[in-house]
Amino acid sequence: MVQFHIQPDSEIPASTQLYDQIWFAIASRQYPPGYRLPSTRQLAMQTGLHRNTISKVYRQLEDAGVVEAMPGSGIYVREQNSTDSARPQTMLWAEFPQARDVVETGLDELLRQGCSLNQARELFLAEIDWRLRCSARVLVTAPAQDIGAGQLMVRELENALHIPVQLVPLEELDTILAQTRSGTVVTSRYFISEAEAIAAPKSVRVIPVDIYDYKKELGLLKDLPKGTCLGMVSVSTGILRAAEVISYSLRGDEILLMSAQTDDTYKLDAVIHSAQTIVVFDEASLPAVKEAIAEAREDLIRPPKLVVCDNYIGEKSINLLKRELGLDD
């Protein structure tokens, strides 16, 4: 705690002595911005001054713009930033209220590390230019055994981003990246470790996307009557495998599970004929399911209820990816 000393026999008034000492403590960052000044009672005990005199000093400091009073809380040191009025004004500060703190913190850290302002600008611009170059080519990757998941991502990204997206099996990613100088690899978090291990040495950016949370479908699963036959259809083997595991963990043997990929007509036909409810995990599978139901209609006492899931990729991930690729201007 800063100690203040008052010389009672000095020609300088006691209030001026305290005022100057507090201001020095603030200017020297012994009292940094946001610091709560001692209460008038604490300073009275330390200095021997009357509390009214201390209150007067605090009012003078407040009038000078050095501190600010927070009713019911105390007196706090204000952030002094004389450069604000000279800074270029932009509506983006209002749109992204925390952006200035992020920019300032990053820039201050670079300066502390010894960078000059020109070097810091070069670093920022180099990173931005690299990201924009990477955005020129977007690749989606997934293991060959679950290439259906990759097909879903490509389909949804092209619809959302309105740019061409290339599908590359994970096993071929190293070869493809060896032929390009920049790009962005997109994959689900299931495959992120393998994709990063391949892409990182080539200075290619990898962005993971979050999949849809399936809350609605999980709620339906919990409410199904015992003995229900639940069908599940997707182009992705990975989705079906995960869905089977989760469904069994929630309901055990209370319901019968059947699954099929859309290109397996035998299994798909079995699902259509047996399931009371069918969860279609992607829009890409829906036409095949509807066609199979239409062909089997004469054999069905009652057509199965269809539950069609939302996009495979979560909406937040799509929006984040747009920003990362510079496509949200």
> Given the structure tokens 């909406």, which residue do they identify?
315
Least confident of 15-19, 125-129, 231-235: 125-129
Q: What is the pLDDT of residue 122?
A: 87
Name the more confident of 328 and 291: 291
Q: What is the pLDDT of residue 1?
A: 67
Q: What is the pLDDT of residue 82?
A: 45
pLDDT at 53 over 90: yes
Q: What is the pLDDT of residue 200?
A: 81
Could you tell me the pLDDT band of residue 83, with boundaries at 50, 70 and 90? very low
pLDDT at 105 over 70: yes
Name the more confident of 268 and 81: 268
Average pLDDT score over residue span 303-314: 89
Type of residue at 285:
S
Average pLDDT score over residue span 229-243: 92
Tokens of 165: 């997206």
pLDDT at 329 over 60: no
Q: What is the pLDDT of residues 149-162, one digit of tens each?
A: 999 999 999 888 88
CA distance to 1, 3, 260, 275, per residue, from 47 (Å): 13, 9, 83, 85
Q: What is the pLDDT of residue 87?
A: 56
Least confident of 85-89, 249-253, 299-303: 85-89
Q: What is the pLDDT of residue 172?
A: 94
**Residue 142, Cα to own-chain centre: how many angstroms?**
22
Q: What percent of the chain clears pLDDT 70, i.e. is strictly above it?
A: 93
